[in-house]
Structure 1
Amino acid sequence: MSVQVKPTYEPLNELTVLDVVKPLDFFDASEQNQLHVREIGDGNLNLVFHIESALSKKAVIVKQALPYAKVVGESWPLTLDRARIESEALIKEAESVPHLVPKVLYSDSTLAVTVMEDLSDHVILRKGLIEGQIYPKLASDIGTFAAKTAFYSSDFYLHPFEKKEQVKRFSNPELCKITEDLVFTDPFFNIETNDFPAELQSEVDVIWNDTELLKEVAQLRLSFLTKAEVLLHGDLHSGSIFVKGDSTKVIDPEFAFYGPAGFDIAHFIANLALNHLSQNAHAKEPFHRETLQTYLLETIEKTWKTYRETFTALWNEKATDPFAKIDGVLENFLEKTFQEAIGFAGCEIIRRTIGLAHVADLDSIPKKEVELFYKKTALELGVKLIKNQRKLTNITELTDWIRGA
């Protein structure tokens, strides 16, 4: 009698990944020896394989977490449990917005593997925006995604026992520590992982020595550390969204955790704001630039409007909180969410400009002096948002500030 030995973790390659996929019967028997494999990952934390049948052209994606950050190497160890968190987050998100996330086809926590639907007909939003593309459904899709995943994971909807159990399941300390450091700490101090041109040193020194600013960042960081309000994607920037004309898919929720409600939408807004700045350099024709920048600002406005309206509708129909029917409770929550989101967006803008992980929107500007100008402008905008987060009362005030940056 043979004993089946459970697999142990080891990084996959273009040969061994087939040993994972073939037994799952995604492909017919006639296709098993006609599978084409490509390693397509370009991130810092994972291996990603595209597996396609040469016969039917049916394809799947296999994502495997690495036990370290590729950008640094084995000296920066990471938990493999983030693969479980990512898979469970996608499944949880699909309960409320199945059309906005990739389908999970299989997962294995020992191998830290998730097999999911192929989205090769989509493009990464950041790339599309830099190239000047417009996506009409983007705002309504992201506003709906953020609102529904927030409401259905909140104390306003869940029984307290279920909510607290979910908080435990999505406890993600190692990846949260990355965010704590890279978004809220390192860019505001003289830390060696920061990365910026020497020409920005005087602007960076001003940030590092601005006590008023640092007090606000400290409060935002504390909110990130302590508020377990809703289940967040945790890294909802324009590199975590796949798009095509009639479809939006939010991917890569390995940073998922329970945190402050404004955090996800803040990162989306911040990355659109950075693209808005960069279009001054990327868009070659003035009329097209104006069209793109108007679209980006309208997308920010519509995203928040959709979030607010969707969350409000769910609250009115399905909230179980005993205070849900009290006038002003919902409005107070949304106001605090909005204002805190502005502060979080400011932190994201600053860290994407002088921290460890940049955005191609700014870094791909071909002329150095132009790149420096817009990076200085981005820092000014980030500081302004953080310092004035509680002064803004509606989304058009925010887009006016971005427009004037």
Structure 2
Amino acid sequence: MMMIPEAWSNNPLMDPARRAFYEYHVLIRQAARDPGSVPEIYHFDETQALIVMEYLSPHVILRTKLIAGERVEGLGERLGLFCARTAFRGSELSMVSADKKADVGLFSGNVEIPAITEGLVFRDPYFDAEMNHHTEGLDPVVKTLRDDVAMKGEVQALFRAFSAKSETLCHGDLHSGSAMCTGDETKVIDPEFGFYGPFGFDLGMLIANYLMAYFSQPAHRGADLAAYQEWILDVIDETCTVFAAEFMRLWETERTGMLYDRALFEDQGHSSHAALRQVLDDIWRDCLGYCGIEMHRRVLSLAHNADFESIEDVAVRAPLEARNLMMGRDLILTRNVIANQAALCDMARKWNEETVL
């Protein structure tokens, strides 16, 4: 779960009742849109901010497994399906327009928690914000990023899209700490950051955290380093492949909302494939951009992750974080020309061999 700054946690509008309210409402929608993907909810008491849900055992946080070098069977498939089904079924590709608009109204009240994302993700990494901190030795890379006006312009363009696109109900904080796994089962947890936003946001956040696990591995692995890093890239490939395939399937079978009405295409004997391709391309470009930004904020902003933070020797940690930061920059600047997940994984392999510091 994302760390909450004291200034925000003391905000009376961010009391546990409000957080529990939104977490519950995201969970029940995710459960309906992708059955079995989240813990079962048994009871909700809004007044007491009480959610009674399934106890996940022997599940372990995915990030812990990735640091330990453990593999999760079907991980890419499970999270690829989750991202596709919640994105498609939470949008006006599928929902009745009035229902979706009412839902946007409901979640528009979740202001304070997503505001953390707006500050920590899109703004703070790119200047000397009060709550920032980063590993000793990274200053040259940090300067490169903060001096890159073109990249910062792209970040703000992605922020503008984030603030304007109410395409679907997003988990809002989908990372390797927001999934609990056994050796062959994965459940998604902690969606209190839920908001209506871009189709590609959750997928981008997830892939960024896969990549940070990938770049951190030299500090965690021994002889099996190369094999485990390739397994992480295989998970990225499978997540993206399954996302696209499931989104296409839902497009063909559940496109009942107001967008891309069949009356304009299939009912006239016309294919909607080109329109679908355009939608998926837009999602992919957004996904890559948000991925790059997440790779920055997890190293430079307030809320770091354990993949890097658990590396005690800063002389080991800093060069690995530097590779991560520079690939994030690459993704933001070149997202329009990265064709597919194979090209994304090749980029990761390239940066994994670079000596940045």
TM (normalized to structure 2)? 0.91
Per the alignment, do residues 208 and 77 of structure 1 end up closer, same or farther by CA in structure 2, a change over 3 Å counting? farther
**Higher share of residues assigned helix:** 2
| SS of corresponding position for 2:53 | strand
The offset of 1:107, in angstroms, is 1.2
Deviation at 1:98, TM superposition (A): 2.1
Higher Cα radius of gyration: 1
2:246 paired residue among 293, 310, 319:
310
User: How do 1:16-95 and structure 2 match up within 5 A?
Assistant: 44=3, 74=10, 78-79=14-15, 80-95=17-32
| Contact 1:189-1:208 within 8 A present in 2 as well | yes
Change (3 A) 1:331 1:220: same
Partner of 2:354: none
Task: Give 1:303's aligned amino acid.
Answer: T
Q: Normalized per residue, which structure has more strand?
A: 1
User: How far, CA to CA, are the matches of 1:274 and 1:324 in structure 2?
Assistant: 42
Alignment partner for residue 157 of structure 1, among 82, 94, 115? 94
**CA RMSD of the aligned region, Å?**
1.7
Equivalent of residue 185 in structure 1, options 113, 123, 126? 123
The structure-2 alpha-carbon separation of the partners of 1:269 and 1:163, relative to structure 1 and needing over 3 Å to count, comes to same
User: Aligned partners of 1:231 and 1:273: how far apart in 2?
Assistant: 24
Partners of 2:2 and 2:303 within 8 A in 1: no
Q: Tell me by how many angstroms 1:71 deviates.
A: 9.0
Q: Does 1:293 align with 2:239?
A: no
1:165-184 → structure 2 map (5 Å cutoff):
165-171=102-108, 172-184=110-122
Contact 1:170 1:258 in 2 (8 A): yes
Deviation at 1:291, TM superposition (A): 1.5
Residue 239 to residue 174, structure 1, CA distance change in 2 (3 Å) = same
Structure 2 CA distance for aligned equivalents of residues 43 and 256 of structure 1 = 13
Of the three residues 271, 294, 297, the one matched with 1:348 is 294
1:77 Cα deviation (Å)? 6.0
Alignment of 1:2-401 (within 5 A): 44=3, 74=10, 78-79=14-15, 80-171=17-108, 172-285=110-223, 288-320=224-256, 321=259, 322=261, 323=264, 325=266, 326-401=272-347
Structure-2 change in CA distance of 1:199 and 1:330 (3 Å): same
Query: 1:115, CA displacement in angstroms?
Result: 1.2
Determine the C-alpha separation between the residues in 1 that align with 2:325 and 2:12: 28
Query: Whole-Å Cα distance in 2 between the matches of residues 267 and 324 of structure 1?
Result: 33
Deviation at 1:366, TM superposition (A): 3.1
SS at match of 1:328: helix
**Cα gap change, 1:324 to 1:187, in 2 (>3 Å):** farther
Alpha-carbon offset, residue 120 of structure 1: 2.9
Q: Aligned in 2, Cα 1:73/1:261: closer, same or farther, shift over 3 Å? A: closer
Q: Distance in 1 between matches of 2:171 and 2:2?
A: 17
Residue by residue, what CA displacement relative to the aligned partner does 1:198-218 show, whole Å, maximum 9, x if unpaired? 422222122112110011000
How many equivalent residue pairs? 339
Q: Structure 2: how far apart are the matches of 1:337 and 1:162?
A: 23
Give a deviation string over 1:165-190, Cα, whole Å, max 9, x none. 11112222111110010111110111
Taking the aligned partners of 2:140 and 2:340, their CA distance within structure 1 comes to: 33
- TM-score, structure 1 as length reference: 0.80
* CA separation of 1:345 and 1:372: change in aligned 2, threshold 3 A: same
Structure 1: runs of 5+ lacking an equivalent: 1-41, 46-68
Instruction: Give secondary structure in 2 for the equivalent of 1:242.
Output: strand
